[in-house]
Amino acid sequence: MPTNKMLLTHLIRGTKQGCRILLALFLFSGLSACANLGVEPWERDLLATKEMALNASPVDAALDDHIYFSKEASSGGKSFGGGGCGCN
Amino acid sequence: MTELKNKKHTNVQAALSIAAGALLGTGAVSEQAKAQSFDDWKIDSAFLFYSEADRVSAAEAIISATKLYDNDEILNLKFTADTLTGASANGAIVQPQAQTFTRPSGIGQYITQAGETPLDDTFKDTRVQLNAQWTQPIAENYTGSVGGHLSKEYDYLSLGINANLAVDFYKKNSTLSFGFSHFQDTFTPEGGIPKPHASMLIGDSDSPTWDEAFSATRIANSDDKQTTDLLLGFTQVINRRMITQFNYSYSKVQGYLTDPFKIVSVLDSQGVAQDYIYEQRPNKRNKQSSFAQTKYHFPASLANSILDLSYRYMWDDWQIKSHTLDTRLYIPVADIFGENSYIQPHVRFYQQGAAEFYQPYTSTEDIQQEPLKYVSADYRIGEMTAITLGAKYGFNLDNGNDFSIRLEYYQQTPTNAGFEEPSALSTLTVYPIVQAVILQVSYSFL
Amino acid sequence: MNRAFNINAQQQGYKITFFAMASPCEVLVQSNDLVLINRLADKVTDEVWRIEDKYSRYKKDSVCSLMNNSAGRSITIDNESFLLLNFAKQCYQLSEGLFDITSGVLNRVWCFDGSDNIASHQQIEPLLPLIGLDKVCYQQNSITVPKGMSLDFGGIAKEYAVDRCIILAKAITKCPILVNLGGDLAVTGPRRENQPWQVAIEALESTDECFDNKDMIVTLFEGALATSGDSKRYLYKDGKRYSHVLNPITGWPIEQAPRSITVLSPQCIQAGMLATMALLQGRGAEAFLAEQEITYWLRKS
């Protein structure tokens, strides 16, 4: 379907005018049998952020693991407990 | 009639949403991959400083480089270096009089003053570690990962491999993962491996008979240890705001699990130290743990904050049981500190029971009555609680670079697991509190 | 073809301009970090030109041309093409055959140049068997386009490129960005301090007296805008105006279609498709739009 679009120009203005939230809402209930668990692909907006990742800060986790591995009798659980250093 | 019509049209719009979502790959794995799609290396770096009051300090630096290839293959290389200095509890119990100990190397002695917890102040170590991890899709919904590990310090070498397989199903809302890792460690402590239960030789290390007498307390120059871990994980997306994970892990450790630097005080009936013997732990340990984690994204009315809550229960055949509760709250604070900044308070609570062979000391009587098999006075396998309180502040720059600083307070409170205290110890602190401060600075860039 | 971009400072940030898919394109970035702007310009233009090269039916070595010149043989396709075909197929089904990427063959007999050159039934009839996406067989990694048929991704490629650019831009930075490819546009989110983007949809210079010549100002916080329709391309005969929008089932122009429709949706590809599908409803366009849970703007002929 060939569609030549209108030309647009954009005005960037810093106005604080009353605003309408223009987003369409996804009205979609009774989607699947398991509708109460899990999401559809387009509902992953929040889950896809890096802060929502289960291991959001792998470097912090590695440093913490090292501290607690050397100071306590437990290790691992979240990922491999492992050996790795003579600190224990 | 109108209702029917409306329903039909709502379906056109909603069906287009699904179609657009599928086209643009807003599915679980692909979205995550695309959200961090980059051609260049992404570098995460961090520097951590750990300092205990009157005991050890450690400085650790990590540089982690990640590259994502076009076909969702991910290469991660990580370099870690740390250095440790300071004093560490040697296992001996506090006494009302000064105590003299021989250094692990056998060369020289150190004295602990009356009423103070014996600390060996010769700890000094530098470690470098290299990790490499390769992750790639194997087939539709299957992701595989393999990695290698090398850690070297002055007296310790650790080599490791790992492999992981993740299977997504139910529109990638559920993920099942299987992991395996194996570590091969070799320990070559300065002064060699002490003979279990041998008395610590104390005296003049310059005397001509010293070397021979000292080597009689040694059985080898080095020993090794193998660790095999199995991890079974299940991740489930609950809804748009919530995700959970459950892990079960099994760890089998074999070989030299004793700490060659740790000793146990032998007390007489009044509680006065008569001797110090080298500890011994079993040469096997089977650990299991169950871990559950959930993350919840609050709505805008609660500042879009994210709660991260996890709990781990660990148990092993040394009869150690532990509970770990960890919680973080990620709070965007853009309005207060500027665009894209956040603070993240952190609280961790840890409680462990003692290993069955842990005892804060042994007695001359006990040694004579029944020969000891396993014994250790290392407070780290005794009963204790620990708490961590901290906060992290960070901000994202426009170009995606990320800076953060983290300050935490960590306190260990060893407790008496039901051992009676002889009279000589009654006014002394047998289970001293350990306090530490952790400061970390991180910077991520492309 | 000129494959270069320009970067110009603006009141609050920078504007990257380039030319792609037969249209002027621009990317507005609300940041003063020139390293970032250059990086964004590289990524965005690479992506748009990549999609153009891959799916243009005018380029000899494009994937689209490869499919169209396959003479009925099965050829291999990659995952992106498979996903695009899936999307087109779903739109075909949702519109009950009105949106059809195989309808391009009708352009052989219809030429909307403002003349009175109306196609004849004799010309149209032999083409109809060559139309119908359901006749095209494709799977995860292969496609068979029957001999004589051809595919045209022109109706979805630009909107798809807009959405891809937004995904890429979001991966690089959190600062506010607007991507506009010849009128189909999307933003990564509101501007700084939660300010909306002000987008003016400029009225075309029109020879039509009854045409309302005012700009439409749209306040945009999130999502995408796409427009379908064009008042310049039509035929006029015996007092009847024939729009360039063709019904692929009959081979004849859709009657009484609005001049143009602009739709707001979370994603550009969705907005574009809703606008196009509405246009294909002809006189029923407004009713179709009104019954959707969407915001739209419509210009009547």
Q: Which residues of C touch B400 (CB under 8 A)?
A: 171-174
Cβ neighbours of residue B354 closer than 8 Å, sequence gap 6 or more: B319, B320, B381, B382, B383, B417
Q: Would you say B27 and A44 are in contact if contact means Cβ atoms under 8 Å apart?
A: yes
- How far is Cα C94 from Cα B172, in angstroms, rounded to an integer? 25
Q: Is B64 on the interface with A (CB under 8 A)?
A: yes
**CB distance A54–B243 less than 8 Å?**
yes
Rounded alpha-carbon distances, angstroms, from residue B156 to B57, B151, B187: 19, 8, 5
Q: Which residues of B touch A43 (CB under 8 A)?
A: 240
Of A2, A3, A10, the CB nearest to C200: A10
**CB distance A6–C245 less than 8 Å?**
no
**CB distance B17–C87 less than 8 Å?**
no
Pick the last residue of a domain from C128, C162, C182: C182
| Strand segments (E) across B317-375 | 321-332, 341-352, 362-363
CA of B273 to nearest chain A CA: how many angstroms apart? 26
Task: Work out whether the CA dihedral B7, B9, B10, B15 comes out positive or negative.
Answer: positive
Q: Is C172 on the interface with B (CB under 8 A)?
A: yes
**CB distance C202–A9 less than 8 Å?**
yes
Q: Is C193 on the interface with B (CB under 8 A)?
A: no
CA of C265 to nearest chain A CA: how many angstroms apart? 6
Alpha carbons within 13 A on the beta-carbon side of B209: 4
Same domain flag for C143 and C17: no
Which contiguous run of DSSP H or E holds residue A6? none
The DSSP annotation for C190-223 comes to -BGGGBPEEEEEPPPP-S-TT---PPEEEEESSE
Nearest residue of chain A to residue C10 (CA atoms): A12
Extract the tokens encoding C230. Answer: 């064009």
What integer is the mean pLDDT of B403-409?
A: 96
CATH number, domain of C125, equals: 1.10.3980.10
* pLDDT of B186 over the 70 cut: yes
Q: How many domains does chain C have?
A: 2
Q: Which of residues 43-102 of C touch B (CB under 8 A)?
A: 83-84, 86-87, 90-91, 94
Same domain flag for C173 and C46: yes
Q: Which residues of C touch A22 (CB under 8 A)?
A: 219-223, 264, 295
Same domain flag for C7 and C76: no
pLDDT tens string B142-168: 999 999 999 999 889 999 999 999 999
Nearest residue of chain A to residue B402 (CA atoms): A57
Position B250: which residue type?
Answer: Y
Whether C163 is covered by a domain: the verdict is yes
- How far is Cα C222 from Cα A37, in angstroms, rounded to an integer? 27
Same domain flag for C119 and C5: no
Pick the last residue of a domain from C151, C169, C196: C151
Whether C161 is covered by a domain: the verdict is yes
Rounded alpha-carbon distances, angstroms, from residue B68 to A47, B95, B223: 20, 58, 40
Rounded alpha-carbon distances, angstroms, from residue C160 to B72, B262, B343, C87, C262: 20, 66, 37, 10, 16
Nearest residue of chain A to residue C220 (CA atoms): A22
Instruction: Note the residue count of chain A.
Output: 88
For domain B36-445, give the CATH superfamily.
monomeric porin ompg (2.40.160.40)
Alpha carbons within 13 A on the beta-carbon side of C139: 5
In chain B, what are the helix, strand and coil shares in percent, each to the nearest 5?
Answer: 10, 55, 30
Nearest to B379 by CA among B55, B54, B187, B93: B93
Instruction: Return the CA Rg of chain C.
Output: 20
CA of C86 to nearest chain B CA: how many angstroms apart? 8
Task: Work out whether the CA dihedral C286, C292, C298, C301 comes out positive or negative.
Answer: negative
Alpha carbons within 13 A on the beta-carbon side of B212: 3
Pick the last residue of a domain from C164, C182, C200: C182
pTM value is: 0.68
Q: What secondary structure letter does DSSP report for C28?
A: E
Nearest residue of chain A to residue C223 (CA atoms): A23
CA of B308 to nearest chain C CA: how many angstroms apart? 23
Q: Is B149 on the interface with A (CB under 8 A)?
A: yes
Q: Which residue range forms the structural domain that includes residue C95?
A: 67-151
Task: Walk along chain C (301 residues) and give the pLDDT tens digit of each residue.
Answer: 578 999 998 888 899 999 999 889 999 999 888 888 999 999 999 999 999 999 998 888 999 999 999 888 999 998 889 999 999 999 998 898 999 999 988 888 887 777 777 888 888 888 899 999 999 999 888 999 999 899 999 889 999 999 999 998 988 888 899 999 988 999 998 888 888 888 877 655 444 444 455 667 788 888 999 988 865 666 777 777 777 788 898 988 888 888 888 999 989 999 999 999 999 998 888 889 888 878 888 887 6
